[in-house]
């Protein structure tokens, strides 16, 4: 059972949760959703002496993927082995191509389009040291959104599907509320109430706590409007 640590770095004006997970013994690490500020992320990597084995993207929105290309460049220059960018599902490819233009609407600079070294799909497994992340295709927020689940350690990185007290937006273009609810209720919650999750923004929670208290997971007639 590998012991591990997690650091969450809220990045950019969106305060998006870039997460770094690593094994405490081997220092093998993965970075989830580097949405920007690659220098801050790299500082943490260097401070803890980590070897990044993968940069993992849950979906293609600029606040989650805009720093991936720059971070990969910094990591590849600093360590012996490159860190591939993995994910999301290929159906989010069009979003990854819109990052540089999209940042202009927020008066941001420095974010870059990115093409993954490998797309991920339902049923894939990503190994980082002894950690094994199962890939679930969970569309709704975006068509190619994926979720990473480490079943043994009972932790998930869910991007913008499920939040503490909320769910992902589906009004940003290419969203689908029905698909999002099917992803949450049909794929994520059945994994077990004890699964802890880190979401794209704000504090995390557990699937069990959200099943019990999240107003968006109640009967539709009882749920508040988005």
Average pLDDT of the residues in 112-129: 98
Is residue 114 assigned to a domain? Answer: yes
Distance between CA atoms of residues 117 and 96, nearest Å: 13
- Let me know how long the chain is: 226
CATH of the domain at 59: 3.60.15.10
Q: Is the confidence at residue 28, as pLDDT, over 60?
A: yes
Q: Is 205 helix (H, G, I), strand (E, B) or coil?
A: strand
Q: Is 26 helix (H, G, I), strand (E, B) or coil?
A: coil
Q: Are 19 and 47 in contact (CB under 8 A)?
A: no
List phi, psi (to 5°) of 146: -125, 160
Residue 164: domain span: 4-217
Burial class (CB in 10 A: 0-12, 13-18, 19+), 3: exposed
Q: Look at residue 220 in the predicted model and tell me its pLDDT.
A: 57
Is residue 98 assigned to a domain? Answer: yes
Q: Look at residue 41 in the predicted model and tell me its pLDDT.
A: 98
Nearest to 53 by CA among 17, 25, 86, 5: 86
Q: Look at residue 218 in the predicted model and tell me its pLDDT.
A: 81
Least confident stretch, 74-78, 100-104, 141-145, 169-173:
169-173
Average pLDDT of the residues in 150-178: 96
Q: Is the confidence at residue 226, as pLDDT, over 70?
A: no
Give the count of beta carbons closer than 10 Å to the beta carbon of residue 96.
Answer: 26
Average pLDDT in the chain: 95
Q: Is the confidence at residue 89, as pLDDT, over 60?
A: yes
Is residue 16 assigned to a domain? Answer: yes
Is residue 226 assigned to a domain? Answer: no
Q: Look at residue 104 in the predicted model and tell me its pLDDT.
A: 97
Is residue 224 assigned to a domain? Answer: no
Is residue 32 assigned to a domain? Answer: yes
Share of the chain above pLDDT 90, in %: 94
Q: Is the confidence at residue 219, as pLDDT, over 80?
A: no
Distance between CA atoms of residues 41 and 18, nearest Å: 8
Is residue 97 assigned to a domain? Answer: yes
Q: Are 146 and 89 in contact (CB under 8 A)?
A: yes
Structural domains of the chain, count: 1
Is residue 45 assigned to a domain? Answer: yes
Q: Where are the alpha helices (DSSP H) in the chain?
A: 38-47, 62-65, 68-78, 93-96, 99-102, 177-183, 207-213
């Amino acid at each position: 059972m590998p012991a591990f640590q997690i650091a969450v770095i809220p990045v950019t004006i969106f305060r998006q949760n870039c997460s770094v997970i690593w094994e405490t013994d081997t220092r093998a690490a993965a970075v989830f959703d580097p949405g920007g500020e690659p220098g801050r992320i790299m500082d943490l990597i260097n401070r803890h002496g980590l070897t990044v084995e993968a940069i993992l993207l849950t979906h293609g929105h600029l606040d989650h993927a805009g720093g991936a290309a720059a971070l990969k460049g910094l990591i590849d220059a600093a360590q012996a082995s490159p860190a591939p960018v993995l994910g999301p599902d290929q159906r989010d490819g069009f979003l990854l191509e819109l990052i540089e233009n999209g940042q202009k609407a927020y008066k941001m600079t420095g974010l870059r389009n990115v093409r993954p070294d490998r797309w991920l799909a339902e049923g894939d497994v990503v190994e980082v040291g002894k950690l094994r992340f199962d890939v679930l295709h969970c569309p709704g927020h975006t068509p190619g959104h994926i979720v990473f689940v480490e079943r043994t350690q009972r932790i998930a990185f869910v991007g913008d599907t499920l939040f503490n007290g909320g769910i992902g937006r589906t009004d940003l273009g290419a969203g689908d509320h029905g698909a999002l609810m099917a992803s949450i209720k049909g794929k994520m919650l059945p994994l077990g109430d004890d699964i802890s999750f880190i979401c794209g923004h704000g504090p995390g929670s557990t699937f069990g706590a959200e099943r019990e208290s999240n107003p968006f997971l109640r009967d539709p007639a009882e749920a508040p409007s988005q």
